[in-house]
A and B are shown apart, each in its own frame.
Chain A
């Protein structure tokens, strides 16, 4: 099973609607990253969360980290077609004694105009 699980796997929303994507870790989270990928292209870094309760925003995208639940959520307000793509969470494992950096399986978002 995946160390970082994302839900839902895919999402189709009408333009203007709000949506939330979740990322849950099976291990302690020390830092959680969110990326966006356009189909077949490289990932673009959105934001990084380090402390429990931390919340960051990037344009209409807000992410929050719940360290106790080992979970992060990404919320998009008033979605637009430009928000479409694949959203991935990532985590580095350097505090676990390894320099691996892993990703969740991704959430595919489609926004209908």
Chain B
């Protein structure tokens, strides 16, 4: 089944403790992206990647890092999480930005930083 797999689904952590949210896709998509979704602010793009070793900032990259060492994986790293990073995070992939078939989204990771 074609899918984007994110882990974990839920995570509660403490301020300053480094964490990684994993994202993997099995569709050979070039374009992968991370978003955060907050009430009233909608979905905001954190980082995106056009292909292996090619990443760029979205609209809200501060406090996040990404890497794209393999085509299928695009982990999101929070080196020193803070409470304002409490949010619902989504990974998405497509052949092109959006592509003719749109994005395929993961199920989301609900992160709480206390």
Contacts and interface: CB of A to CB of B under 8 A. Distances in A.
Nearest to A101: B97
A70 B1 CA distance: 36
A76 interface: no
B48 A42 contact: no
Contact of A100 (B40, B58, B100, B105): B58
Contacts of A33: 98, 102-103
Contact of B98 (A90, A104, A105): A90
Interface residues of B, number: 31
A105 B41 contact: yes
Main secondary structure of the interface of B (DSSP, over half): strand
Contacts of B50: 99
Contact of A99 (B4, B41, B90, B97): B97
Interface residues of A, number: 26
A107 to B, nearest CB: 11
Nearest to B97: A92
Contacts of B100: 48
Contacts of A92: 96-98
Interface string A34-48: 010000111111101
A35 B37 CA distance: 14
B58 A106 contact: no
